[in-house]
Structure 1
Amino acid sequence: MFRTLRLDAVLVQAVIAGALSFAHLHDLAAAAGQDGWKAWAYPVSVDLLLVAAWRRMRKNGGSRDAWLWFAIALIASLGANVATAGLLDMNHVPDWLRILVAGWPALAFLGGTLLAHAPAPEQKPAPEPLAEPDLEPATPDLVVERVPEPAPELPPAEPASQEKPSAPEAAPELVPLVPAVSVPPALLDHARKIADAHHTQTGAPIDAATLRVRLGIPAPLADSIALQLT
């Protein structure tokens, strides 16, 4: 399928305006003493400066330099259109206009050079996303240090007597300790896990005071649990 060629009204208007402006600039340059190929070079120079300024404005977001040179080129094109509309005697061009036409190539070259080598705007780095605060407070593990108990003092050794040793007395029977407070089985299992973890960390069995702190229970109940864990 062949696409049908559609004429855009804006494009047609741009072509007409460019052609008329081109012709007016040529006529004004020829009237100012720039004959031959030089008269045709002036409209090309004005249009190129317009295009360069327009591209710089689109790239830099409308910088002051781009707007300045765009306005200069636009005034040159608009001035040529007005001057050739019968307001100026083309056979007797004033001296100041001849000076402007003669100095235009250097001015256009300066503007094109500044537009071509203008520094690109610095791009600001994107802000880093803020880290979400941790709403849950950190609970440090409770580490209970076991204070070593002082070694019991041994009684002084008695001098050996010459009397015959008496018959050894019978050792008293050991009465098993019965916990004074009943302990629920679930609480006893939980205490046993805590005691095993404590033994793994410190290498020593857990005592009743540490059990009372870790479980948050009264002292009698902690003593009873400690007895059953031994």
Structure 2
Amino acid sequence: MASDLAARFGIYFLHKLPELVTNTKSTVSILNCVTARQLCFNDSSCSAILEIIPRVCGPEVVACSTVTVTKCQAALRTLQAFPFFKPTCLCREPHVDPECNSFRDFLFDHPCVFVKEREKDPYPVDALPTCTHAHYVCQQEPKCIKLYEDFKAHCKVRDNKCRMEDRELCFEAWSSLRRSPMFGCICPNNHMKKRCDRMFSMVNHNPCIGK
């Protein structure tokens, strides 16, 4: 069932990818990577991917340490598809511009890119789903939607404030949710963006996380 869900996520989002990138400014020449990153930050769709990558790829840049390898790979591919980074971006020598080179290595030579095993990821994906579609498809599998419902129940938010009753239960729910399709979903600019943004914020901007 999980593999069927993954396939449906990938097929759906591959159709949606042009929707993400066609609304961005096209670039004629190859950009400096820091400039490209700033342009990405200024674009709502692109900046959402930048925000997702540290979560799905983990904090490590020397080794791939995340349990959501395929989501990390999908996020990196999606970011590379934006015109700011196509076909690549450039930097001066590492000793002259270390920040630029660090970002370029992170984007194009991330250690998770070279990982082939997928058994640790129960919901492997080829492309990141939108949050609304992730929720819809997740509803088709009781185990999947339970992860999301448990997270909302144990990491309650009201008036933008954390109302959790048990920190340990919240942490366990969050750890489990990271393996579900709801974690790593994104929100392109479309007619369902408001609903999508609410789901995205619930997962990624939950004030209970990190307390």
- TM-score bracket, shorter-length normalisation: under 0.3
Q: TM-score normalised to the size of structure 2?
A: 0.23
Q: TM-score normalised to the size of structure 1?
A: 0.21
Which one has the largest radius of gyration? 1
